[in-house]
Amino acid sequence: MPPFATPPISPLSITFDGQTGTMSPEGPVLTRRMSDLAGLFADTAAWEAAVADGDPVVYQVASSPVPEAEGELPQSITTILPGTVAGEFHMTKGHQHPNPQGEIYLGLSGTGGLLLFDGERPQWIDMAPGVIGYIPPGWAHRSVNTGDEPYRFLAVYPGNAGHDYGWVLANGMGHRVYRGEGATPRFEPFTATP
């Protein structure tokens, strides 16, 4: 990491491009392939077939150099590529913050949604360019691309919130999101994968 990414960092200007999903200066970039999403799609056989058919990239997270440390507000741009697995839309892994804190997502390009789950109630927020989705403390969250082009959003979150991906694997997200009629997604109650 560059020296300015070590806490405490100095004030800096960050430029982001919502159409390409890049940041400057850039920090780490995380790429998630279909094989990284084991146990998330309802149709395991269709997921295995997608992995065997080239293991495509599902999404990428480009972060700024602001560190994930207490008192900092890191930013990232996530790009979810369009597609489905047996009709279930491409999605992020989803996570809950072990140190419960709020977070905001700002839609940059494409269309998608923010699926939230507090362990009892699933909630859905339609996302598009210019829409801010607010994630309250304690809600697990996952982003979903519901369109036919890349869906990008900017996330800003407390640096010490942490990311618990295992909670989502164990508890699900309350609903699964499928391609519906027209541009409207279809929701089905979550059932664990076999």
Q: Look at residue 168 and tell me if it is in a domain.
A: yes
Q: Look at residue 16 and tell me if it is in a domain.
A: no
pTM: 0.93
Domain count for the chain: 1
pLDDT score of 26: 92
Q: Look at residue 56 and tell me if it is in a domain.
A: yes
Q: Region 146-172: what's the mean pLDDT?
A: 95
Q: Look at residue 31 and tell me if it is in a domain.
A: yes
pLDDT score of 18: 81
For residues 67 and 42, the answer to whether their CB atoms sit within 8 Å is: no
Q: Look at residue 10 and tell me if it is in a domain.
A: no
What's the CATH code of the domain at 63?
A: 2.60.120.10
Q: Across the chain, what does the average pLDDT equal?
A: 93
Report which of 6, 116, 158, 153 is spatially closest to residue 67, judged by C-alpha positions: 6
Q: Which residue has the higher pLDDT, 4 or 45?
A: 45
pLDDT score of 32: 98
Q: Look at residue 5 and tell me if it is in a domain.
A: no
pLDDT score of 83: 97
Q: Does 163 have pLDDT greater than 70? A: yes
β-pairing, 75-80 with 57-63? antiparallel
Q: Which domain holds residue 145?
A: 24-189
pLDDT in tens, 110-157: 999 999 999 999 999 999 999 999 999 999 999 999 999 999 999 999
Q: Region 155-181: what's the mean pLDDT?
A: 94
At residue 48, φ and ψ (nearest 5 deg) are -60, -40
Q: Region 82-111: what's the mean pLDDT?
A: 96
Q: Look at residue 17 and tell me if it is in a domain.
A: no
The token pair at 126 is 């339609």
Q: What is the distance between the alpha carbons of residues 121 and 112, in angstroms, rounded to a whole number?
A: 20
Q: Look at residue 15 and tell me if it is in a domain.
A: no
